Structure 1
Amino acid sequence: MTAVVFGSLPFPGQSGDRVVSKAVSAAIAALFKRTGKIEANLRAEPLAKLLQGSVDGFDFIGNGMLMYNGLRIEAMELYVQAVSLDFSAIFSGQVKLRQPTQASMRVVLTEEDLTTSFNTPFVVEKLQQLQYQEQPLYFQNTQMILNEDKSLRIKTQIRVGEASDPIEIDVTSYLQVEERRKLQFVNVTHQGDKDAIALGQALIDHVNNLLDLDKFALDGTQLRVDRVRVQNKQIIFYGIAQIDRFPQSKRR
């Protein structure tokens, strides 16, 4: 029976787990504007369990993933021990969970990813929600630098209101996780004159209020971080992804 069902599907000559893996990989890729290599591997023993949507394990590995808001992820790994899928939805290009599931995750952001992200309209718009001395702020040339001592350096130029010349901001800090979902810049040091220091302090306070993972998670998911490592010009997050429902693709 299993052979008959899978033999009629659009991946002839492949085992059922590979058929479903390819379908899930395509559905995940559709969540992003652009991706590099993406691979999802499902395991089910016996294979007939797939017909009931039961999967013993699910591993996802992807890299070069560009989100629709412009944020880029160098690498993402998700490892699920067991999951129950709506099998009938797989081959219409959808992934539907019969019940919520949880996955361990590893997410890698490079220095370049961080710099690019802080210059996207999505993030710049959020930064410009900050008003300083009742004046709007205009950001340009923001740069994120990951130092060998595991600190992060933020350099940016901010024009306050109608001022013609921007203020140069140069801030160094360390990254800390609070409540498993809030990323915070701590132990902050500032460079520059008193105006640069005052504006830099206001900026860090504002950014710390923004960096709540619940504001950035894909629809139907919740991210919790247990550990952060800064090394080799990368930030690596280790934690848990709670997946209540599979996010919907934004592709048309």
Structure 2
Amino acid sequence: MLNGFTNLKNASGTDFGERMLNKVASESIRRLFSKSESVEVSIRCSPSSKLLQGSLDSFKMGGRGLLIRKDFWVEEMRFETDAVALDFGSVLSGKIRLKQPTQAIAQITLTEAGINEAFKSELVVKKLQNVTEPALMNLSGGEPVSFSDIALKLLPENRIQIFAKALLPNNTLPVSMTATLAIERRRRVAFQNPQFEPEAVPEELRSISEVLTMAFAEILDNMVDLDRFDLDGVLLRINRLETQGDHLVFSGYAQIERFPNIA
């Protein structure tokens, strides 16, 4: 019976077992995201009898319009594994259980609009409110300083331009800077070589705005750690990034420990 199951083909030659596994995997992966526009899974197993031993030749996933942790939009995410070992019995019960962790080549694409939406998320806003860095406290008479209205623009060669507002107890001052994005330790996005951009700031405010801008750059440089955005059972590591027009593309790998169960 099981041999007949794995040898069953549809008109296009797609194995029935692979099609069922694609469906279960797609539903499992959708559960990683708060929302998803589309999630597509492609599994290859030849000959199909290998599926009974839980042996897959490759596993590909592509998703668009993905929302992580209800706040962070991903335009596109793709990953592809080499051989994968799974418990085929779990598939028959509507689940996917890996026999051992596997790694995949990964690519993640963010948009400029999605990044700016992320600056409005509760997690990020908390990091930018009531900052008590000594350099800022000296300017504010000992009171905490907050930053708001962040607007980021992607530039060629991995550079960015950022405008923001610094909220002092009795005043609101502009923040204007450029920086270069880089990856550190495969998990942290660094804001390197920050430069104050005086042209966007009134001349009489430039001196204090520059101090605020450099302090803001330091906050950003310590903020974006991918470990804070890990998906359930999936550890992301980035080898490189690249700005492409209004898109920011990360390339690296994903270590998949487990798939989420379908409720």
What TM-score does the superposition give when structure 1 sets the normalisation length? Answer: 0.86
In structure 2, the residue matched to 1:10 is none
1:39-54 matches, cutoff 5 A: 39-54=40-55
Larger Rg: 2
In structure 1, the residue matched to 2:232 is 219
In structure 1, the residue matched to 2:155 is 147
- How many residues in Structure 1 have an aligned counterpart in Structure 2? 243
SS in 1 for 2:35: coil
Give how far 1:66 is off: 0.8
> 1:245 is aligned with what amino acid?
R
Aligned: 1:172 with 2:178: yes
* Contact kept in structure 2, 1:227 and 1:239, CA below 8 Å: yes
* Contact kept in structure 2, 1:31 and 1:248, CA below 8 Å: no
* Contact kept in structure 2, 1:174 and 1:188, CA below 8 Å: yes
* Contact kept in structure 1, 2:130 and 2:146, CA below 8 Å: no
In structure 1, the residue matched to 2:258 is 245
In structure 2, the residue matched to 1:63 is 64
What CA distance in whole angstroms lies between the structure 1 residues aligned with 2:127 and 2:94? 33
For structure 1, the residue ranges without an aligned partner over 5 or more in a row are: 8-12
Structure 1 residues 28-80: Cα deviation after superposition (integer angstroms, max 9, x where no partner): 11111111121011111121222222111001111100112410000011010
* Contact kept in structure 1, 2:192 and 2:221, CA below 8 Å: no
Structure 1 residues 101-145: Cα deviation after superposition (integer angstroms, max 9, x where no partner): 100011101111111111111221233373241533433321110
Give how far 1:239 is off: 0.7
* Contact kept in structure 2, 1:34 and 1:66, CA below 8 Å: yes
Q: Which moved more, 1:165-174 or 1:212-221?
A: 212-221
Q: Percent identity?
A: 33
For structure 2, the residue ranges without an aligned partner over 5 or more in a row are: 8-13
> 1:62 is aligned with what amino acid?
G
In structure 2, the residue matched to 1:2 is 2
Residues 1:198 and 1:95: Cα distance change in structure 2 (over 3 Å): farther
Correspondent of 1:236 among 228, 249, 252: 249
What CA distance in whole angstroms lies between the structure 2 residues aligned with 1:77 and 1:243? 13
In structure 2, the residue matched to 1:190 is 196
What TM-score does the superposition give when structure 2 sets the normalisation length? Answer: 0.83
